Chain A
Amino acid sequence: MTHKMLRRSSLRDIRGSFSRYFAIMAIIALGVGFFSGLRITTPAMLKTVGDFLDEKNFYDFRLLSAIGWEEDQVGEMKGETSARYVEGSYSADAVFVTDDGRELVMKLHSMPDKINGISLSEGRLPEASDECVADAGFTGGVKIGDRITVSLTSADSDGKSALKHREFVVVGTADSSLYINFERGNSSVGSGAVSGFIYLLPEAFDLEYYTEIYVKLDTDGEIYSDEYTGYIDEVRPVWEDIAERSSGERYSRLYGDAKGKIDEAKAELDEKRLDGRRELDDAKAELEEAAIEIANGETELSDAENEIIRREKELADAKAALDEGKAALESSAAQISDGENELESAQSALDAAYAELSAGETAYSAVGIDPASVPELSAARSELARRQAQIDAMRSALGSAKSEYEAGYAEYEKNQKIYDDGVSQIAGAKKKLSESAAELDEAKRKYSDGLAEYADAEKEYDEKIADAEEEIADAEEKLGEFSYPAVYLLDRSVNIGYSCLESDSGIVRQISRIFPIFFIAVAALVCMTTMGRMVEDSRTQIGVLKALGYGSASIMGKFIFYSGSAAAVGCVTGYALGTWLFPYVIWLPYELMYIPLRLKYVFSPALAAISLIVSLLCSAGVTYLSCRQETRETAAALMRPKAPAAGKRVFLENIGFIWNRLGFLRKVSVRNIFRYKKRFVMMILGVSGSTALLLTGLGLRDSISGFASMQYDDIQIADATVSYNPEDGGVPHELGEKLDELGVDYLPMYEGGFDLLYGSRVKAVNIQAPESFDRFGDFFIVKDEKGGDIAFPGKDEAIVSVSIRDRYGVKVGDTITLRDSDMRELRLKVVGVFDNHVYNYVFMSFDTLKGQLGDSELNAAYMNYPDGSDHSRMFAEISEADGVRNITQLQVFKERVSNMMKSLDFVVLVVILSAAGLAFVVIYNLTNINITERVREIATIKVLGFFRREVSSYVMRENIVLTAMGAALGLVLGVFLHRFVISQIVIDLVSFRIYIAPVSYILAVILTFVFMFLVDLFMQIRLDRINMAESLKTVE
């Protein structure tokens, strides 16, 4: 547009007809907003999660081997060119018991280094091996500071052997890239329902090998992109080889080690056998020696006894001789002492005689007589001397007798001592003898002990040898069974969160394919009618410009600028608002199911360009088409008024009985409705679109809120389920008694989580295998979607829920493969599909399950409480029974599920608001055009004296009729749209039913009319502004 005046005129046109300009802007903004907003939502969601996964180095390959992996193998793999990071990791499942006694099944992981990072939400990371970080999205209600204990009662908890500690302190909570949505998978331990994950330091694991290896490849391909999957497919064979080879090496090494150990054990056994034998023999020889010694000792002992007896006898003889000698000695001593006494008295007498003699002699001497001269005296003297000699002789005899006695006494004493010695010798010998006897007894006891010991030792030896032999045989047998291990190279698609995101985000992608086209079509139509009208209005102006010599191009440019600029502004506004609002609102409910991440804004230049091109096509392109015809006409023709569209009779007029009953104001409306085909089509389209959207939105809510009651009131009608630790492969005794006592009707079954393999992916499904199907109908009504009966599955057969058929392409007649966490597989022929809305169920008979897996137990039961009983009391009573793991009250569950689904109300609100916007713009625009086109007519009827209300009803009646028609069509469209949308909304574990409540139909229609009346209120102002003088103006 090079001409200044034209430009000015264009700008004035915009100012002068802002409502028209705004209408184009608004519809384009709405169309583009809806289109770009929905289109960008999936990429934005994927980018948000994708960036998180990139940041956390989410794995590309997960290597699993039945025999685990070694540090060295991790090191080797790191050398691989396509690997960025390789990390060995420990994982295990374990049943934990909380302080308040609840049992929780947990997935245990070692703290990652780089791959599969976690993001701490609260607290800190573990620093000691008895600390752990728990699931932030944890359902078990474990808080920081809590202690959790590995359950020892759960026999099948492999975690308790894999861990160094039994008790762990929760020091933090985190989100993990391995669990991006709420699903935590299944476990073969405990109740099988995993409550959450736990991260521990690698040191906390008491394992000699890594349970898995994670590989992050050297690629930054966008998640789910063809580029990424292409790359994965490219390197997969390489890694499969690596995995096989590494596992093979480890296998050979383990096999070799085991074989070596067995051989060693065998050699050791042989050695031990010999050593042991020798030792036994030695012991035996020693025992025999001891027996001989004991015999010798006994002989010696009896000899010694005899000797003592003999010596005693000798001593007794000696004693008798001694006593005799003593008596002789004593008598001689007495004789000696008598002799001495006699001697003494003789001596004394002699001495006295001597004294008398001496006295006499003295006297004689004195008298001078020589005494010697006195005979008497000499006689006396000689007498005395004779007597003295007698005494001396006696004395000498006595002296010899005395010395004789003394010699005898010495002899006696000597003999006495000898005797005493003999006595004490005998006593010593006797003592010795008794000691020897005791010693001998001891030796005898020892000997018999030795004998017993020997017998024991021999027995033990035999046993030990036998045991060792058996052990070796066992080990050899095991080694024989130790076959080449299964190796799995798993990619991201087996990660439930990753897998779910793809399908979940796909919902929006599906919706974004359908809805926006609708909006764009309406936008194009709105632009077309608006611009067509504008061009028509400007005929004269175009004619004048042509007459003045402006070329068609510049004239056309004016209109194209008008609509194009409106569209461009609308497009930018719409794009900015749409790409921000839609992803944001749609992400809200997802955020509840996935880990909390802030949604990333994604700007897509391509999408922006497409939006702009489409808006320009819708506006400028359409304008071009409208203009082309006008600009082709001659200036003169243009300046002549264009004949108004001729009135025509409509079909309805042929139906006399209706037509004749209409007041002709109504007839005018009827004719007007059909007068402008384009507008009619647009209005019907726009309004029906809005109604359809409204109905879809409301219906969505019905479907969502209704499925839970349908599920738990009409399908899964049991009151509760209980899971327990099986006793003898079935219901624990105490629980059974309790249930009977309470009058609870129950049906034991196996319940567990398996992975359904479909294509190259897996999907967690719930298996229920009742003991018998006879009474199953009391707990779960198995019907097909149309309410028809289904035969229960027979041997190696299964029936699956509708969701499994719809989502994973499983058909009746197919054979499905289910795998548990121990990689055991079930292969079942699908013989029926039953209606079900919550969870993906597969039903089979318990016999089938047991037959295929070998060792299954009935671990759960459906329960129906007696009529009129208090459910929570029942719950409390049954919980107390031993062996009960968990009770699920289905009515409580129903409410919980319903609540969860409330998050989808946001989406419903978006749809309703969009519908409102659409309805408003369409009705507004069309009414606007309608009024603009008929200003003259309206002015005329005003002049004719129509009251205000009559004027508006004259105009608005058409709106009402068109809205009614549009709404009616919209209801039909809405039913289909709703059906389509429901079929596209795949929220995991839940499938909605196609159901729209009657009130929603009514509400959709009412809302459509409300929008129409709102527009009419706006338009009333315009009607009021119409100047009656318009009727006098010349026709332009």
Chain B
Amino acid sequence: MPAFVEFRNVKKIYKTGEVEIEALSDVSFEIGKGEFCVIVGASGAGKTTILNILGGMDTLTSGSVFLDGREVSALNRRELTAYRRYDVGFVFQFYNLVQNLTARENVELAAQICRDPLDAAETLRQVGLADRMNNFPAQLSGGEQQRVAIARALAKNPKLLLCDEPTGALDYKTGKAVLKLLQDTCRESGMTVVVITHNQALTAMADRIITVKSGRIESMRLNGDIKDVESIEW
């Protein structure tokens, strides 16, 4: 089976004035469809750059990126937007909910622009927020907000769910619950989930573990011993 996500010799150089910073130098990896993948690395290793490029938020300097056989790195700006719109779901560290919209509306915000969205209320029910649907983000706890964010990502019915430190702003327990939700989603709907984190402990629950260090892939391995979220400690 061909790889669902593929990075081929991806290089990314940021230019700020005269200074050139090589964020990624020759990154190549693959992720299979329906996998729960954790990209792990220390701060500044380049994992966010990978996420940006994979999420269609940033362009690369050289190399190529494929999703489901389509070369993401060859898309123009408008196509990239469409790509983000239809193919990728995002879960941010700080949820990035629109403060002015209720939980349900936040989900609808994403769902409305998609071709084949899931029902917003249904998605929220799935993430366990059936009764908080009409609350504003400010009225929700961090975990609840993150669930809304996940619901928002899911409702788009994307090909790929990208999560940037989804537990970063959450307490331990809540973080676990969110991770569980992500894992369950992956399992139940066959959604490809990519979680980016600096937390090595999370690697235990992943199907695939990619370790990034200084702009390079240090290692990429399939997890032979996948654990449930509940059993992971950090």
Contact = CB atoms under 8 A, between A and B. Distances in A.
Interface of A: 643-648, 663-665, 667-668, 671-672, 675, 936-937, 939-948, 950, 1028-1029, 1031-1032, 1034-1035
A945 B98 contact: no
A1032 B149 CA distance: 13
Interface of A is mostly: helix
B92 A1031 contact: yes
Interface string B67-109: 0000000000110011111101010111010111110010011
B92 A1029 contact: no
B48 interface: yes
8 contacts: A647-B100, A665-B109, A941-B98, A942-B57, A943-B84, A1028-B57, A1029-B52, A1032-B51
Interface in B22-63: 48, 51-52, 55, 57-58
B81 A946 contact: yes
B100 A950 contact: no
A241 B82 CA distance: 96
B84 A668 contact: no
Interface in B6-27: none
A946 B85 CA distance: 7
B113 interface: yes
A1035 B94 contact: yes
A675 B112 CA distance: 23
Nearest to A669: B100
Interface in B116-175: 136-139, 152, 156, 164
Contacts of B93: 1032, 1034
Of the four ranges (under 10, 10 to 19, 20 to 34, 35 or more), the interface on chain B belongs to: 35 or more
Contacts of B102: 647
A1028 B52 contact: yes
B85 A944 contact: yes
Contact of A643 (B86, B105, B138): B138
Given A646-B136, A944-B84, A945-B81, A1031 B96 contact: yes
Contacts of B194: none
B110 interface: yes
Contacts of A646: 99, 136, 138-139
B113 A644 contact: no
B100 A675 contact: yes
Given A665-B112, A668-B109, A1032-B48, A644 B101 contact: no
A644 B112 CA distance: 25
A352 B102 CA distance: 220
Contacts of B112: 663-665
Contact of B98 (A663, A940, A1028): A940
Given A665-B109, A1031-B90, A1034-B93, 5 more contacts: A647-B100, A663-B112, A668-B98, A671-B100, A675-B99
A645 B99 contact: yes
B113 A950 contact: yes
Contacts of A948: 77-78, 81
A189 to B, nearest CB: 80
B94 A664 contact: no
A1028 B58 contact: yes
A940 B52 contact: no
Contacts of A647: 98-102, 136-138
B109 A943 contact: no
Contact of A1034 (B58, B83, B94): B94
A648 B108 CA distance: 17
Contacts of A663: 112
Nearest to B165: A1032
Which of A664, A936, A944, A1034 neighbours the largest number of chain B CB atoms within 10 Å of its CB?
Answer: A944
A665 B94 CA distance: 22
Contacts of A946: 81, 85, 113
A644 B138 contact: yes
Contacts of A942: 57, 81, 84
Nearest to B78: A947
Contacts of B48: 1029, 1032
B132 to A, nearest CB: 14
Contacts of B99: 644-647, 675, 937
A1029 B93 CA distance: 12
Nearest to A643: B138
A947 B152 CA distance: 18
A-B complex: 9 closest residue pairs judged by Cβ atoms: A945-B85, A646-B138, A945-B84, A647-B136, A1028-B57, A647-B100, A940-B96, A671-B100, A647-B99
A672 B98 CA distance: 10
B142 to A, nearest CB: 12
A945 B157 CA distance: 13
Nearest to A937: B98
Nearest to B88: A945
Contacts of B139: 646
Contacts of B84: 942-945
Nearest to A644: B99
A672 B136 CA distance: 13
A943 B101 contact: no
Nearest to B196: A1032
Contacts of B88: 945
A707 B113 CA distance: 56
Contacts of B110: 944
Nearest to B51: A1032
Nearest to A1035: B94
Contacts of A939: 96
A950 to B, nearest CB: 7
Contact of B105 (A667, A672, A675, A945): A667
B105 A944 contact: no
Contacts of B82: 945, 947
B54 to A, nearest CB: 12
Nearest to B77: A948
Contacts of B113: 944-946, 950
A644 B113 CA distance: 25
A664 B102 CA distance: 10
Nearest to A670: B100
A945 B102 CA distance: 20
B96 A937 contact: yes
Contacts of A950: 113
B98 A947 contact: no
Contacts of A1028: 52, 55, 57-58
A945 B83 CA distance: 7
A10 B79 CA distance: 41
A1029 B108 contact: no
A943 B57 contact: yes
Contacts of A644: 99, 138
Given A647-B136, A937-B96, A671 B57 contact: no
Contacts of A1031: 90, 92, 96
A890 to B, nearest CB: 64
A672 B109 contact: no
Contacts of B152: 944
Which of A668, A939, A943 neighbours the largest number of chain B CB atoms within 10 Å of its CB?
Answer: A943
A639 to B, nearest CB: 15
A644 B100 CA distance: 10
Contacts of B86: 945
Contacts of A667: 101, 105
A667 B112 CA distance: 13
B100 A947 contact: no
Given A647-B137, A945-B113, A1032-B164, A936 B101 contact: no
A935 B110 CA distance: 18
Contacts of A944: 84-85, 90, 109-110, 113, 152, 156
B78 A664 contact: no
Contacts of A668: 98, 100-101, 105, 109
Nearest to B153: A944
A1029 B57 contact: yes
Contacts of A936: 96
Contacts of B77: 948
Which of B77, B88, B99, B112 neighbours the largest number of chain A CB atoms within 10 Å of its CB?
Answer: B99
A571 B93 CA distance: 45
A668 B86 CA distance: 22
